[in-house]
A and B are shown apart, each in its own frame.
Chain A
Amino acid sequence: MELTACKELETKVIQENLCTFCGACTGMCPYFVAYKGRIVVRDTCTISQGRCHNFCPRLSVDFNGVHKAIFGTSYRWDGMGNVLEVYIARSSDKAIRSKGQYGGVVTALMSFAMKEGFIDSAVLTCSGNDRLPEGALATTKKEILLRAGSSYIAAPTIGAFNSAAQSGNKGKMGVVGTPCQVLALANMRAAPSDMQDNVKKLGLTIGLFCTWALSSEEFIRFLEKKVPLSDIKKVDIPPPPANVFEIYTASGRISVPLDEIRRFIRPACTYCTDMTAEFADISVGAAEGIEGWNTILVRSEKGAELLRKAKRKKVLEIDTMPAQNLEHLKEASLLKKKRGLKNIIQKTGNADDLLYLKADTKTVKEFLNG
């Protein structure tokens, strides 16, 4: 018997602990709702192949097909995906740097993209009810700045994109997202044309480097015991070898050993193979060992154009990336990819069954052995 899309997502993704809480299935219909770190199936839908089904980055992703749809080429198993240019950079604006993560590049780029007409609004992640992160639409530079900074907590941001697109938000939208969120957007772009009404409004994707994300509800309860939630100004996980989670408050910094935090990692992150948001226009992360700077991977022509303009208009200070840094980044990406694949194979018990990941398993086996 054919499963309905709704039931399939519930049994194959949610109940199997594969759901990343990206929010791609929400904001389009009344059936899927994001609530306190869980996707809740509110009612029973009878549609067998809905948009939710096509967009979910953990039900089925044809890496080759998606890569062709976005970059025009086949997917290569080399760790970091399609990369045109690599830099380190930081915002030229001190105010942005102090609010943003590391060099504040994402915040600077998003407001610049809006100013330059690449996009008309931006879908970002902010702290919502009870400090739980949620997607939010920003239409001004001020609103973008308000939502600067990472939380490391999984958020249903793509749901905010869906509902903004569906409720008639005018113009193009930029989205800042983690690799799974960017993968969901990529799935949308590769979906059949009758499912592309929303994604046509996507003007720019900025991906964030991500090792894993934390389960919202449980982690917030933990955090609450360390420090009053309203006192938190910013949180950070500095690149290795720091191995701490840092909480910045008005009265100073609290360091929590990462090992205390790891138990809050979403189980779904175990099966993720993407550290650098491979299907974004531009991916951004920390610059290892260079405090106050970001790493930038330019992936698409659109991303390259935005960066050129940002450089010319002095929105960003851009520099070449030290060779050692690039080497480390590649290693880390490869490590996550291999670890993710191994965990998938361990879960299925079969190297030819890669769960959501639809790829030529021969290539994958070679990659794992290489």
Chain B
Amino acid sequence: MAKGEEKTLGIDADKPGKAILLMGVEAIARGALEAGVGVATAYPGTPSSELIDRLSKVAKKFNMYVEWSINEKVALEIAGAASISGVRAITAMKQNGLSVALDFLSGLAYTGINKGLVLMVGDDAGALSSSNEQDSRHIARMLDLPLLEPATYQEAKDMAKWAFELSEKFSTVCILRGTTRILHGRGNVTLGELPEAKPEAVFDTSRSYAPDITFVTKIHANLHKSLTKISRVYDASPFNEYAGPENPELLVITSGTGWLYSSEAVKVLSAQKRVGILKLGTTWPLPNKLVAGYLMGAEKVLVVEEVDAFLENNIKERAADLRAGRTWTFFGKATGHIASFGEINPDKVINAISRILGRKYRARTSAYEKMRNDIAGSLLIPRELQFCAGCPHRATFWSIKDALRLDGRGGVVAGDIGCYSMAQGATGYSQTKTCHAMGSGVGVASGLGKLKQFGFRQPVLTVCGDSTFFHASIPALINSVHNESDFILLLLDNSGTAMTGFQPHPGIDRNAIGDSAPRVDAEKLCKALDIPVTIVDPYDVKQTRDEFLNILQGGNGPKVVICKRECALIRATREGALFKVKVNPDKCLGEKCGCNRYCTRVFGCPGIRWDRDTKKAEIDEAVCNGCGVCVHVCPRSAIDREARP
């Protein structure tokens, strides 16, 4: 029984001293619980979404308020309100989300906070699930906010807890930054105490959180003074540590994932006697004294970090400020020893260190690389980024493509952020032509729809998911009504924030902790703006295409078509497939059809595969989610579907 019990231990386990396996984000959630956090908010975004997901499950137990907010700015505002009313709060976002929250964050930096307020930002190094790989640490420097970067899972938990104290002590938001491998990797975390006391909320009206406009520069000056003090605190922080000889031949300064990779590299190269590693967990402001001390003991310095040369440039600046009458040779992103983009890994650090030390060691030989690629090529099916089997977006983009080809005026589709961002590729028939930020599809379409006076004659469409609609599309939509722009918004309503894991949003009738919640009706909202609204079922490809064509060829002004169909995965998980789909081998003419493998090559649902032996199509039952759309796609009507009970 004891063993079974261990398996089920989660972030809420009241077992101080016990080590459990936690994901980095979970460790941060645990750290927040140990800090007595009262409010947690976020808009989902990889790799940050699990924070709220995990906290929402223990919210009732810890009397927490946890919400999925409409967007990152609002999430930070909710958390900010808690903090200034005496309740510790945490908010989480990905790097793109930080840009959304930035406006409020810069305000908050000047007004200060009350109880600890931690902003966890997940940076998607390598842009595995993002449209950019911007390095959020610059924001901390730009806004004079303290920054922490955990290097291990234990540190993620401990640092999160400490971040609240630091935030509170200096009355400022503390940014806790992790990259994907820290946040999504797992490691053992030794649990600490969970606090007994519950926070009590009250807004102390004797204090103001509105910056006095006449004193803004003075506030700014105070922020800088505060940073000097924080730097002193950092000098003594246990999150910074050094391992290596007193005067190393090469000093590696690193943060986050870079520390484990550097440690492994030094070990692999057996260079412990030549190389010292200074791991910094507190990266803005720099722990000035600490860094100066180690710099003075070295001549060659390599900085290892993900993504930008943030630490590297700050350290060079620090070195210049030392006026030590000596020079250092710095290695890192500027010298090309560490790539200034993408994720790093132990191999890259091994190569960098062996180059600097004049060692011939290569992490992997080119022969090995070739062998690896050959084997992978023979075993793995080449697959591009694509919509899941049965995805309503595929059906919608199929109809968009058909409608625009038939219309023949070179219609343009402005894209947006969500699963449907993939529509710029083959899976969405390369239909979307722009993709920038949450909600920007409507803004860009609204702009395209105002270019008639310059001879613009192409019809304009844009798409946004239901979650993206609420997140940031509405102001642009209102703008388009007032300024009489001409475009069609296709609201791809799949009933959830599908891309990040089906989180609810204001259009869903339940909240973060699973309780029922009022649903905001997008259709009513649009109608209240006097925008004509049509609702279609994307699975009915013919009706959807005809409706698109009708509206394309109809009158002016912004129009909304709600393409309503629940995400195939949500449905399939809950109640199974809609249809049982089968290819009738007597009707499918295979290679002889003249359709040139229309179902698999053009429609491209992964639920259909081409049998190399029979040279005909067949349904892959393990993959098919039973949407039944392919029945309308086959030119020979060779695909049958049967409603499931």
Point out the residues of chain B lying under 8 angstroms from A33, CB to CB. 405-406
The answer on a CB contact under 8 Å between B596 and A47 is yes
The answer on a CB contact under 8 Å between B405 and A50 is no
- Judge if A140 is at the interface, Cβ distance under 8 Å: no
- Judge if B595 is at the interface, Cβ distance under 8 Å: yes
The answer on a CB contact under 8 Å between B406 and A29 is no
Contact partner of A29 (CB less than 8 A), chosen from B401, B429, B596, B601, is B596
Give the complex CA separation of A285 and B627 in angstroms. Answer: 52
The answer on a CB contact under 8 Å between A51 and B408 is no
- Judge if A40 is at the interface, Cβ distance under 8 Å: yes
CB distance from A5 to the nearest CB of B (A): 10
- Judge if A235 is at the interface, Cβ distance under 8 Å: no
Interface digits, A28-57 against B, CB 8 Å rule (1 contact, 0 not)?
Answer: 111101011010111111110011000000
Interface size on B, as a range, is 10 to 19
Point out the residues of chain A lying under 8 angstroms from B402, CB to CB. 42
CB-CB nearest in chain B for A45 = B596
A42 touching B596 in the complex, CB below 8 Å, given contacts A29-B635, A30-B635: no
Point out the residues of chain A lying under 8 angstroms from B635, CB to CB. 29-30
Contact partner of A42 (CB less than 8 A), chosen from B405, B593, B594, B601, is B405
Of the candidates A38, A41, A45, the one having the most CB atoms from chain B within 10 angstroms of its own CB is A45
Give the complex CA separation of A35 and B404 in angstroms. Answer: 12
- Judge if B242 is at the interface, Cβ distance under 8 Å: no
- CB-contacts of B272-325 with A (<8 A): none
Contact partner of A35 (CB less than 8 A), chosen from B406, B601, B633, is B406
Give the complex CA separation of A47 and B601 in angstroms. Answer: 12
CB-CB nearest in chain A for B635 = A30
CB-CB nearest in chain B for A43 = B602
CB-CB nearest in chain A for B398 = A43
CB-CB nearest in chain B for A44 = B602
The answer on a CB contact under 8 Å between A46 and B596 is yes
CB distance from A279 to the nearest CB of B (A): 24
Contact partner of B594 (CB less than 8 A), chosen from A36, A41, A43, A50, is A50
Point out the residues of chain A lying under 8 angstroms from B601, CB to CB. 46
Q: Is the interface of A mostly helix, strand, loop or mixed?
A: loop
CB distance from B586 to the nearest CB of A (A): 12
Point out the residues of chain B lying under 8 angstroms from A41, CB to CB. 405
Interface digits, A307-351 against B, CB 8 Å rule (1 contact, 0 not)?
Answer: 000000000000000000000000000000000000000000000
Give the complex CA separation of A43 and B593 in angstroms. Answer: 16
CB distance from A28 to the nearest CB of B (A): 6
Give the complex CA separation of A30 and B402 in angstroms. Answer: 11
Give the complex CA separation of A228 and B321 in angstroms. Answer: 86
The answer on a CB contact under 8 Å between A29 and B595 is yes
CB distance from A358 to the nearest CB of B (A): 24
Interface digits, B384-413 against A, CB 8 Å rule (1 contact, 0 not)?
Answer: 000000000000000001100110100000
CB distance from B602 to the nearest CB of A (A): 5
- CB-contacts of B545-604 with A (<8 A): 593-596, 598, 601-602
Give the complex CA separation of A31 and B593 in angstroms. Answer: 12
Point out the residues of chain A lying under 8 angstroms from B429, CB to CB. 43
Give the complex CA separation of A51 and B406 in angstroms. Answer: 22
CB distance from B71 to the nearest CB of A (A): 37
Point out the residues of chain A lying under 8 angstroms from B405, CB to CB. 33, 40-42
Point out the residues of chain A lying under 8 angstroms from B633, CB to CB. 30
Give the complex CA separation of A45 and B596 in angstroms. Answer: 7
The answer on a CB contact under 8 Å between B408 and A38 is yes
Give the complex CA separation of A129 and B550 in angstroms. Answer: 13
Point out the residues of chain B lying under 8 angstroms from A31, CB to CB. 596
CB-CB nearest in chain A for B634 = A30
The answer on a CB contact under 8 Å between B594 and A51 is yes
CB-CB nearest in chain A for B633 = A30
Give the complex CA separation of A336 and B401 in angstroms. Answer: 40
Contact partner of B406 (CB less than 8 A), chosen from A28, A40, A43, is A40
Point out the residues of chain A lying under 8 angstroms from B406, CB to CB. 33, 35-36, 40, 42
Point out the residues of chain B lying under 8 angstroms from A35, CB to CB. 406, 408
CB distance from A164 to the nearest CB of B (A): 14
- CB-contacts of A1-49 with B (<8 A): 28-31, 33, 35-36, 38, 40-47
**A residues within 8 Å of B by Cβ?**
28-31, 33, 35-36, 38, 40-47, 50-51
A-B contact list, 30 entries, CB within 8 Å:
A28-B594, A29-B593, A29-B595, A29-B598, A29-B635, A30-B595, A30-B598, A30-B602, A30-B633, A30-B635, A31-B596, A33-B405, A33-B406, A35-B406, A35-B408, A36-B406, A40-B405, A40-B406, A40-B408, A41-B405, A42-B402, A42-B405, A42-B406, A43-B401, A43-B598, A44-B602, A45-B596, A47-B594, A50-B594, A51-B594
User: Which 8 interchain pairs have the tightest Cβ spacing?
Assistant: A30-B635, A35-B406, A29-B594, A43-B602, A45-B596, A30-B598, A40-B405, A47-B596
> Known contacts A30-B595, A30-B598, A36-B406; can you find 18 more A-B pairs with CB under 8 A?
A29-B595, A29-B596, A30-B602, A30-B635, A31-B596, A33-B406, A38-B408, A40-B405, A40-B406, A41-B405, A42-B402, A42-B406, A43-B401, A44-B602, A45-B596, A46-B596, A47-B596, A50-B594
